[in-house]
Structure 1
Amino acid sequence: MPSLQQPLLIVTDLDGSLLDHHTYRWDAAADWLAELQRHQVPVVLCSSKTAAEIVPLQKRLGLTGLPFIAENGAVVQMSAQRRVRIPSDSPDYDALCQSLSELQRRFRFQGFCDFSDPQVAAMTGLSESESALARQREASEVIVWRDEEEKLEAFRNALAQQRLQLTQGGRFWHVMPAGSGKGEALSWLLGQYDNAPVTIGLGDGPNDAPMLDAVQHAVVIKGYSKTPVRLTREDTQQVYHTAHYGPEGWKEGLDYFLTQHH
C-alpha cells in the first residue's frame, strides 16, 4: 500500500470528485488536503476546466504553485513559467476554432467561441466572470451538439482528418487534439520527474478513465454519469470504488489507500 512517508503524488478530477457536483464545496476533503500539505505531497488537479479557471481554484484549495492538467489533458502547467500543449505540435485555440467553423457548414453545433460570456453563464450556471475564465481556452473547444445523434460518427471522422478527437464531458462535448487526454497528460507530467512518485488518482467520470488507468492506485468515485467509468487495467486490487459521492468519496478513497489499518 502507498504511504505518506514515500514520494507520492495525488492526481484528481475536480467536478464531482474533489468538488461537490452540486455545491462545488470540498469540506469533506479539507482534512486530507491539510494532511497532504503537511507531508508535502503534491495534489495535481486534472480537469476539463481551463488554466484560467484552475489557478484561482488552486489558491482556494491551498495548492498554489503545484503542477496541474487543464482542458481534459490538452494543457499541462508545470509551473507559473511553464505551460505546454499536449501533444506539443497541437494547434492553438484560434486554429482549432477555424477548423471547427469550416465543419459548421456540414454539422449543426456551436462552440464556446460562438457564445458570449452571458450565454455561457446561462447554459452552465456559472457567473459571467467565471464564464469568461471558462472561455479563455488554449487547446480545446467545448461544443453544444445541435445535430442528430446519428451524425456524431461522421463528425468524429471529419475531426480525425484534422487530427482532432471528440471526448464526452459531464455536460458538453470537448474537441481535443488527437493524442491528448488526461492519461497522456499525466504520463507526460510524470516523465518530468527524475524519480517517478507513487501515484493515486481519483475521478468520477468516463473522461477520467485514461487518468485512472495511468496511476498505480485508482479511486473511482461514485458519480452521477449514466456512462460507467470503464478501466482497462487488470490489477483490480489497486482499484477502489467508493460508496460516497464527491468530496465524501474522495476522503473515503484516500482513507482506503493511505490509512494503514484496513
Structure 2
Amino acid sequence: MLTLQEPLMIVTDLDGSLLDHHTYSWQPATEWLTRLKEHHIPLVICSSKTAAEIVPLQQELGFGGSPFISENGAVVHYGDAQSALTGQLSPQDYRAICHTLLNLRQRDGFKFIGFADVSEKEIAEWTGLAPALAARAKMREASESLIWRDSREQFDLFRVRLNEAELELVQGGRFWHVMSKGSGKGAALRWLLEHAPSSASPRSRRPITIGLGDGPNDAPMLDSVDYAVVIRGYSKNPVLLERADKQHIYRSTARGPEGWVEGLNHFITPS
C-alpha cells in the first residue's frame, strides 16, 4: 500500500464521487480531506462542473488555489490566486460550440435542450442545485451540457455531425457534454502534469497519482493515473478502462463520498 509520506496527488471527479449524487454532500470524506491537507497532498478536482462552480467549492474543502480541471477537461486552471493561469485545451470556445449546435439543430432537426437554451431555474430543477449554484453552472467556457430528446438513429447521426465539426460527445452522470475533440479529462490531466508540475505537486516533479471517478466520462482520467478508483455510480453504462494493470484498479461497493473513502482506504495506509 501507499503511505501519506509519499509524493501523492489525488485527482477526483465531483458529482457522484467526492460529492453525493443527490445531496452534493462531501461530509463523509471529511477525515480523509483533513489527512490530505495535513500531509500537503494536493487535491486536483477534475469535473464537468464549471470554474465558477469549482473555485468556491475548493475554498469550502480547504484546497483553495489548487490546480483544477473543469468542463470535462476542456479547461485547465493552475497557479495561485494572484497568478492564476488558464490553459483552454478546447480550440473552440462556448460561443462557437453553441453556434454549431444551433446550426445542426436547424439543419437536421435534432431534438435536444442545452444549458444555453434554458434559465437558471430550469437547471436548478434538473440538478437539484440552488438557483445561485445553477447560475454558476451556466458560466461555461468551452463545452455545452445537454439533454437528448430524440431517437437512437438521430443520436448516431448527431455524433457524425459533431465529428465533422471537430466536436465530440461525452457522457456524464446527468448530461451529455459537447466539447472539442481530444480535450477530455485524460488529456487535460496529462497536460497539467506536463505544464505545471510544480503547481500540481510541491513535493515531486511527477507525483504518484490516484484518480477517483464514477462515470464513463471519467474513464480517460482513470486510465491516465497510476492508481484508479472506480466508484459505484448510477450510469446505465459501465466505466470501461483500457489499462492492463488490473492490480492498480479498485471498484468500490459504496457510492459517492463513501465510495471515495473506500477507494483511498484501499490504496493508502492512513497512519
TM over 0.5: yes
Residue by residue over 1:152-185, the C-alpha shift from the partner in whole angstroms, topping out at 9 and shown as x without a partner, is: 1111111111110011111111101101111111
**Alignment partner of 1:214: what SS?**
coil
Counterpart Cα distance in 2 of 1:145 and 1:122: 17
How far 1:260 moved relative to its partner?
7.3
1:109 partnered with 2:112: yes
Counterpart Cα distance in 2 of 1:32 and 1:149: 42
Letter of the structure 2 residue corresponding to residue 6 of structure 1: E
1:181 partnered with 2:191: no
Would you say how many aligned residue pairs link Structure 1 and Structure 2?
259
Matches within 5 A, 1:173-212: 173-192=176-195, 193=197, 195-212=205-222
1:132 partnered with 2:142: no
**Alignment partner of 1:104: what SS?**
helix
Counterpart Cα distance in 1 of 2:154 and 2:217: 21
Q: Match of 1:73? A: 73
Q: Match of 2:202? A: none
Question: Which among 210, 213, 222 is matched to residue 223 of structure 2?
Answer: 213
Counterpart Cα distance in 2 of 1:190 and 1:102: 36
2:4/2:270 contact within 8 Å kept: no
**Alignment partner of 1:147: what SS?**
coil
1:148 partnered with 2:158: no
Q: Match of 1:258? A: 268
1:82 partnered with 2:92: no
Q: Match of 1:24? A: 24
How far 1:124 moved relative to its partner?
2.0
**Alignment partner of 2:66: what SS?**
coil
Letter of the structure 1 residue corresponding to residue 46 of structure 2: C
Letter of the structure 1 residue corresponding to residue 100 of structure 2: S
Identity %: 57
Q: Match of 2:99? A: 98
**Alignment partner of 1:129: what SS?**
helix
Question: Which among 161, 164, 173 is matched to residue 161 of structure 1?
Answer: 164
Residue by residue over 1:72-99, the C-alpha shift from the partner in whole angstroms, topping out at 9 and shown as x without a partner, is: 1111111242112114xx1111111111
2:10/2:210 contact within 8 Å kept: yes
**Alignment partner of 1:14: what SS?**
coil
2:17/2:212 contact within 8 Å kept: yes
Q: Match of 1:231? A: 241
Letter of the structure 1 residue corresponding to residue 185 of structure 2: K
The two structures have a TM-score, normalised by structure 1, of: 0.95
Tell me the C-alpha RMSD between the 2 structures. Answer: 1.4
Structure 2: segments with no counterpart, 5+ residues: 199-204
